[in-house]
Amino acid sequence: MEKNLDKAKGYIYNLLRVRPRSEKEIRIKLDSKGFDKSIFEKTITLFRENGLIDDDKFAQAWVESRLRTMPKGDIALRQELKEKGISKEIIEKVLFGKKESEEVVAGRLAEERIRRMAGLPKLKVKKRLYDYLMRRGFKYEVIEDVVRKMFVEYE
């Protein structure tokens, strides 16, 4: 029993060395490795008590990382966090407290994208910009506002 507990701890340490993980992700990984349920409950409790598994911190880090490396809108971020097993309360708290508003992120992406489409007809650029921002998970109202502002500036 003690040997399996040590194996589970070592496995979790290795997982967390690669990147932070949500509690749900750790549970799935431990289950897939065939650890006994009582073993991974003890291990997860131990890691949670030591602050190494913390869905609040994980969600915060996930959102910050996404906004830095692959910016997405609140819809996409909400979905990703939900898939990682993060509670609705934590998701809302993290998205409400993020540093940049959705409008700022969408505006930055739109500026980058619009430069790549120089020379294309205005209508085509607008459509592609709408589609791009939709795929990135931004709310329609945000997209509408950003695209309207872009075309006021670039006319």
Read off the pLDDT band of 16 (50, 70, 90): very high
* pLDDT at residue 1, as a whole number: 60
Proportion of the chain above pLDDT 90, given as a percent: 75
For residue 145, pLDDT beyond 80: yes
Residue ranges of the domains in the chain? 2-53, 56-96, 102-153
**Domain 102-153 is of which CATH architecture?**
Orthogonal Bundle (1.10)
* pLDDT at residue 153, as a whole number: 58
For residue 58, pLDDT beyond 90: yes
Q: In CATH terms, are 56-96 and 102-153 the same topology?
A: yes
**Domain spanning 2-53: which CATH class is it, in words?**
mainly alpha
Read off the pLDDT band of 14 (50, 70, 90): very high
Average pLDDT, the chain: 91
- Measured CA to CA in angstroms, residue 36 lies from 3, 6, 30, 31 at distances of 12, 13, 9, 8
CB 56 within 8 A of CB 22: no
DSSP assignment, residue 70? S
The CA distance from 101 to 58, in Å, is 20
Burial, 51: exposed, middle or buried (Cβ in 10 Å; 0-12, 13-18, 19+)? exposed
For residue 147, pLDDT beyond 80: yes
Output the CATH code of domain 56-96: 1.10.10
Per-residue pLDDT reduced to its tens digit, 34-54: 988 888 889 999 999 999 999
